[in-house]
Structure 1
Amino acid sequence: MNVQIEITMKNYPGRHPHVAPYRAMIVHIQFEGGEDLTVNTLVATNPVEIIEQALDRTVDAIVRNEGEPADITIILPQEVLLTAGLQSHLTDKYTSDPLVNSIQFA
């Protein structure tokens, strides 16, 4: 099964003195021939934590739907640059789960 995770990010200025600037990240998970999940997240965390949360939700959905092992493509915002070492770490971490065949970063 193929799964595509797309993460978008937008920074918002504070609207008035009581609202500080913030970052919003939206995660859209699309399963081949199946359900789509959209997760809106206001974050004080970094993008790597959002990627891990998206991968965790993907694996949870595969388990919940008794799905087949997945080949996952992650599409990141242009502003987010992952080093080869970090990509390798995330790939090694999640492909240790038998429900994740591979992870590609786009």
Structure 2
Amino acid sequence: MEINIMYREHEGRHGADYRALTAKDASGNTLTNDTSGMTVVEFIEKVVSKVIQRNVSKGHTANDITVNLPAEVTLSSTLQTHLVAKFTADPLVNSVTFA
């Protein structure tokens, strides 16, 4: 499963700027999005959890997940290791890779 994350900053009305995070699958279908100010890590956790829930509801077998990050987002190796350990604890996740 490939997850493509997009990051955009927008000028809001009356000086209230905001950012938008969107996650799409390899076919371009939107998995989830956020404009509430969620942190990037929270967003990654949300979308991977959503993919796992979808796999459970559709009876899918375990799969590999690749999270493609935008240039604006950098995860430390320690944080990547933590997230990989967290999600591969689920039997429906063989691996998680960040690219």
TM above 0.5: yes
Residue of structure 2 aligned with 1:78, choices 65, 71, 87:
71
The equivalent of 1:5 in structure 2 is: 3
Matches of 1:40 and 1:68, distance apart in 2: 25
Task: After TM superposition, give the deviation of residue 46 of structure 1 in Å.
Answer: 1.1
Matches of 1:14 and 1:84, distance apart in 2: 34
The equivalent of 1:28 in structure 2 is: 24
**Which protein is richer in strand relative to its size?**
1
Matched, 1:40 2:38: no
Matches of 2:17 and 2:54, distance apart in 1: 32
Matches of 2:92 and 2:26, distance apart in 1: 16
Residue of structure 2 aligned with 1:68, choices 23, 39, 61:
61
**Which protein is richer in helix relative to its size?**
2
Q: CA RMSD in A?
A: 1.5
Matches of 1:37 and 1:82, distance apart in 2: 22
The equivalent of 2:89 in structure 1 is: 96
Q: Which runs of 5+ in 1 are unaligned?
A: none
Matches of 1:92 and 1:86, distance apart in 2: 10
- The change in CA–CA distance for 1:23 and 1:77 in structure 2 (over 3 A counts) is same
Aligned 8 A contact 2:31 2:47 in 1? no
Aligned 8 A contact 2:80 2:98 in 1? yes
Larger Rg: 1
TM-score of the two chains, using structure 2 as the length reference: 0.91
Matches of 1:76 and 1:103, distance apart in 2: 13
Matches of 1:97 and 1:30, distance apart in 2: 22
TM-score of the two chains, using structure 1 as the length reference: 0.86
The residue matched to 2:61 in structure 1 has which SS?
Answer: coil
